[in-house]
Amino acid sequence: MSQEFSVGQRVRVVALPPYLKTAEPMPMLRPPDIICLGEEGVILDRRPGGYWGVRFTKGALLIDSQYIEPVPMNSETDEPSSQP
């Protein structure tokens, strides 16, 4: 069962897939080392097949929900918590 996220939600990479796809009209395969474990991004949209469009610092990628988790928010400042 895939996890549900909302557009604009911050997520963190918890495992690296064997490859990544770019979130472009014509997706391209990329090696997984363009992102690293623990890197955070923002959900852009939901794609068919349980994939999510996520904006990372090196670009927008399609990533399966099993490889990401939500980043807990600090309720006082509405900023991502620094807690692991």
Domains parsed from the chain with CATH numbers: 10-71 (2.30.30)
CB 37 within 8 A of CB 76: no
Name the pTM for this structure: 0.81
Burial class (CB in 10 A: 0-12, 13-18, 19+), 38: exposed
Rounded mean pLDDT of 54-78? 86
Half-sphere exposure of 40 (CA within 13 A, CB side): 13
Using a pLDDT cut of 90, give the percent of the chain over it: 71
Tell me the pLDDT tens digit for each residue of 35-50.
999 999 999 999 988 8
pLDDT for residue 80: 58
For residue 76, what is the DSSP state?
T
Per-residue pLDDT, averaged over 45-67, amounts to 93
Q: Which of 31, 57, 60, 28 is nearest to 43 (CA)?
A: 60
**Given this model, what pLDDT does residue 1 score?**
47
User: Is the pLDDT reported for residue 21 higher than 70?
Assistant: yes
